[in-house]
Amino acid sequence: MTKTSVPDGYMADAKGRLIPESQVKPQHKLEDQTVRKILGYALKLSAQIGRFKGHTYDDIASFVDLLQEHYGASRGGPKGNTTLTSYDGCIRIIVQVQDSLTFGEELQVAKRLFDQCIEDWSADGDPRLKTLVDHAFQVDQVGRINRAALFGLRQVEIDDPSWKAAVAALNDSIRVIGSREYVRIQFRDNPRASWRTVPLDLASCEAPASAPAAEPAAESAEG
């Protein structure tokens, strides 16, 4: 991050103007101090998580390489998914590869074919099927197609050439534009207990029992 030098006794506002601290309201000073302190914690935590993530993937890759060298084959499922488990069955590390998808112009063709099927079957068709199709092609508030519902249509088995053509067009519309790896770390007290996932995101992490120190403490070890 770059920061313009601000002389002592002044604060820079959002327009870059230098304002004497004596003219800045106390609540604005406190707000400024608060967000800067939080940013300090966040940057250090982000860097530590980044190091942890790199170490984790390196360790898993090293293990898989050794396994491949020993047996002539790597451990893992489709798309490179991997699960490593402790000897006592109480710790497991799961690496999942998730494709990033988009849909081509064939999706519009699929919609017209699905609609045509429903129109042709209107006399004796299941009204729930129309609801399912409408829901699948509904665009959400951020302009995204309902992917789960679209994939649900692919699972509907109907022995009709028109329906099969619509499903084929839907399948052909799917484009894989990239992939991302996700790691989950889980543990349990004994082999019969339920798995618990170590939360590594802000939304699922619980606050500590006691408040942190006013200033970030020095890290005892590199992540």
Residue 89 lies in a domain: no
Q: Report if residue 217 sits inside a domain.
A: no
Distance CA 114, CA 137 (A): 10
The residue to which tokens 């820079």 are assigned? 12
How would you class 124 by CB atoms within 10 Å of its CB: exposed for 0-12, middle for 13-18, buried for 19 or more? exposed
At 1 the three-state DSSP class reads coil
pLDDT confidence tier of residue 214, bands split at 50, 70 and 90: very low
Length of the chain measured in residues:
223
Q: pTM of the prediction?
A: 0.59
* Same domain membership, residue 105 and residue 52: no
What is the chain's percent helix, strand, coil content, to nearest 5? 45, 20, 40
pLDDT value for 5: 86
Query: Of 121-125, 175-179, 196-200, where does mean pLDDT reach its minimum?
Result: 121-125
Mean of per-residue pLDDT scores for the chain:
82
Q: Is the pLDDT of residue 67 over 90?
A: no
Do both 108 and 172 map to the same domain?
A: yes
Residue 123: inside a domain: yes
Residue 139: inside a domain: yes
**Residue 121's pLDDT is what?**
78
Q: Report the percentage of the chain scoring pLDDT > 90.
A: 39
Task: Please give the Cα distance from 126 to 133 (Å, whole number).
Answer: 12
Structural domain boundaries, residue 116: 101-176
Mean pLDDT to the nearest integer, 143-156: 80
The reply to whether 110 and 167 lie within a common domain is yes
Residue 172 lies in a domain: yes
Q: What is the predicted pLDDT for the residue at 221?
A: 39
Asked if residue 208 belongs to a domain, the reply is no
Rounded to an integer, what distance in angstroms lies between the CA atom of residue 182 and that of residue 97?
A: 6
Residue type, 65: D
> What is the average per-residue pLDDT within 162-166?
89
pLDDT at 142: 54
pLDDT at 205 over 80: no
Domain count for the chain, please give it: 2
- What is the structure's pLDDT at 137? 81
Residue 182 lies in a domain: no
Give the pLDDT mean for 171-177: 88
Tell me the per-residue pLDDT of 16-52, one tens digit each, with 9 for 90 and over. Answer: 999 999 999 999 999 999 999 999 999 999 999 999 9
Give yes or no for residue 219 having a pLDDT over 50: no
Question: 186 in a domain, yes or no?
Answer: no
pLDDT band (50, 70, 90) for residue 223: very low
Would you call 38 helix, strand, or coil by DSSP? helix
**Residue 78 reports pLDDT greater than 60:** no
pLDDT score, position 208: 52
**Tell me, what's the pLDDT at 12?**
94
